[in-house]
A and B are shown apart, each in its own frame.
Chain A
Amino acid sequence: MKTNDIILQTTTKVVVFIIILFSIFIFFKGHYTPGGGFVGGLLTSGAIVLLLLAFDMKTVAEILPINYIYMTATGLLFAVGTAAGALFFNVPFLTHAFGDVYLPILGKTSLHTATIFDLGVFLVVVGVTMTIIQTIGGDE
């Protein structure tokens, strides 16, 4: 994709980080407010798509040297692993656990295994979206 839009490129450099930060925020807040793995993952891939629009495929591949298929697989492993992990505690598949932990600075923080599952979803969504876009975009 050939572009030499200087305005788009400059804006993108700033905006991409904001989007990614926002997507991470929305991912972690997902259990309490709108958001979660799907939206977070989609937002992140949206950011990368924006990068692709502003720069070309090669540049983006240099900035983010990620194999998105591996990323998908990792995400699936996270999700299945969390689900199967429950079996070791003699509870049904996909049972989640949660608890509160007191961290020095943050104070009372709650931890969920559901977040790990959601992380899997996040990774799969980013991986899948980017695999699709990259393979189509990279096809001559």
Chain B
Amino acid sequence: MEIVMAFVIGILFMSATYLMLSKSLLRIIVGTGLLSHGAHLLILTMGGLKRGTVPLLDEKASAYTDPIPQALILTAIVISFGVTAFFLVLAYRSYQELGTDNMERLRGTEGND
């Protein structure tokens, strides 16, 4: 399964990159969202998949899945939510102020940098 996941993650990263290189601000944000999904799955896969039961001691199993990647991802999920929200509002406000979400038109001019 790890091999399959490696390719799934690769495809997620690829789409994310392609989106981020586009001109529309919204697509860039969607791209960052995809990128964080890919990263979370990457961390989880790195720790090894299905190596034991869920990391709850009550299960009294002989082996548990590695809890550290999970803890890291939990933190990452919430942070990426915060970042996405921030980006969104940034896009929304710049749209309001500047009337466009085309990145090519949002370039700073000479003397305005």
Interfacial residues, chain A to chain B (CB-CB below 8 A): 32-34, 38, 125, 128, 132, 135-136
Contact = CB atoms under 8 A, between A and B. Distances in A.
A132 B85 contact: yes
A34 B85 contact: no
A33 B78 contact: no
B92 A32 contact: no
B89 A132 contact: yes
A136 B58 contact: no
B98 interface: no
A132 B89 CA distance: 9
Which among B58, B74, B85 has the highest number of chain A CB atoms within 10 Å?
A: B85
Interface residues of B, number: 9
9 contacts: A33-B56, A34-B56, A38-B74, A125-B78, A128-B82, A132-B85, A132-B89, A135-B89, A136-B92
B7 to A, nearest CB: 29
A128 B82 CA distance: 8
Q: Is the interface of B mostly helix, strand, loop or mixed?
A: helix
Contacts of A128: 82
Q: Is the interface of A mostly helix, strand, loop or mixed?
A: helix
Nearest to A131: B85
B78 A32 contact: no
**9 residue pairs, one from A and one from B, having the closest CB atoms:** A132-B85, A38-B78, A33-B56, A38-B74, A136-B89, A32-B58, A128-B82, A125-B78, A136-B92
